[in-house]
Amino acid sequence: MKKQDCYYLGKIVSKFSFKGEILLKLDVDEINSLNFKNLFIEIDNMLVPYSIDKISLHKSSLLRIKFDNIDSEKKANKLIKKECFMTLKDLPKLEGKKFYYHEIIGFKVLDEKLGHIGKVIQTNHQTSQPVLIINNNGREIMVPLVDEFLIELKRKEKIITFNLPDGLIDLYLE
């Protein structure tokens, strides 16, 4: 399995019990489904598949997971601080204005007032506010992903439309 075929889910932050359960801190806005049966854990720069025995939401941004074949604290300790991924094909489909960050790379970005702004080249969700990075004729424009700004998402046409605050785009074009 290659990373480009996967979605980054989060990082294992601690063990939960003496029976080998772990806590995975999610790096996603929301988890729609806990119906997946496998995760890939990055170990020595390789994605290693782990089969899930039990999974449940623990507080708001943690998953409590019991993997098959991880049945002790010692085995669970080896997984702490490891990054977890799931295959893109296992992601639940989103509808309406909800999307995965990787899904909108290459989308054309429009503003209701200004028209065409550029194409999404990257999303930065490591900041407190996720940001779209847009290529506008070689210039990078950053647009905060705020629900109130997002007007429409057309998946088939690969277009995302915003109603951005006056002057935001002008900061980059002057």
Give yes or no for a contact between 14 and 23, defined as CB atoms under 8 angstroms apart.
yes
How many domains does the chain fold into?
2
> Same domain for 64 and 107?
no
pLDDT of residue 166: 92
Q: Is residue 37 part of a domain?
A: yes
Quick one: three-class SS letters along the chain?
CCHHHEEEEEEEEEECCCCCCEEEEECCCCCCCCCCCEEEEEECCEEEEEEEEEEEEECCCEEEEEECCCCCHHHHHCCCCCEEEEEHHHCCCCCCCCCCHHHHCCCEEEECCCEEEEEEEEEECCCCCCEEEEEECCEEEEEECCCCCEEEEECCCCEEEECCCCCCCHHHHC
For 22, other C-beta atoms within 10 Å of its C-beta total: 26
> Same domain for 7 and 62?
yes
Q: Is residue 63 part of a domain?
A: yes
Q: What is the CATH number of the domain that holds 21?
A: 2.40.30.60
Quick one: three-class SS letters along 83-111?
EEEEEHHHCCCCCCCCCCHHHHCCCEEEE
Q: Which residue has the higher pLDDT, 119 or 33?
A: 119
> Same domain for 26 and 74?
yes
- The per-residue pLDDT for range 50-77, each reduced to its tens digit, is 999 999 988 878 999 999 999 999 999 9
Q: Is residue 95 part of a domain?
A: no
> Same domain for 121 and 158?
yes
> Same domain for 111 and 37?
no
Q: Is residue 96 part of a domain?
A: no
Q: Is residue 15 part of a domain?
A: yes
Domain boundary among 55, 90, 125: 90
pLDDT at 141 over 70: yes
Kindly indicate the confidence band of residue 30, based on its pLDDT and cuts at 50, 70 and 90.
low
Question: Model pTM?
Answer: 0.68
Q: Hey, what are 134's tokens? A: 């847009």
Q: What is the CA radius of gyration of the chain?
A: 19
pLDDT at 93 over 90: no
pLDDT at 31 over 70: no
> Same domain for 74 and 128?
no
Q: Which residue has the higher pLDDT, 101 or 81?
A: 81
> Same domain for 32 and 83?
yes
> Same domain for 82 and 8?
yes
Q: What is the CATH number of the domain that holds 133?
A: 2.30.30.240
Of the candidates 25, 33, 32, 23, the one whose C-alpha atom is nearest the C-alpha of residue 8 is 25
pLDDT of residue 8: 87
| Percent of the chain surpassing pLDDT 90 | 63
Q: Hey, what are 156's tokens? A: 């088939």
> Same domain for 134 and 162?
yes
Range of the domain at 132: 101-173
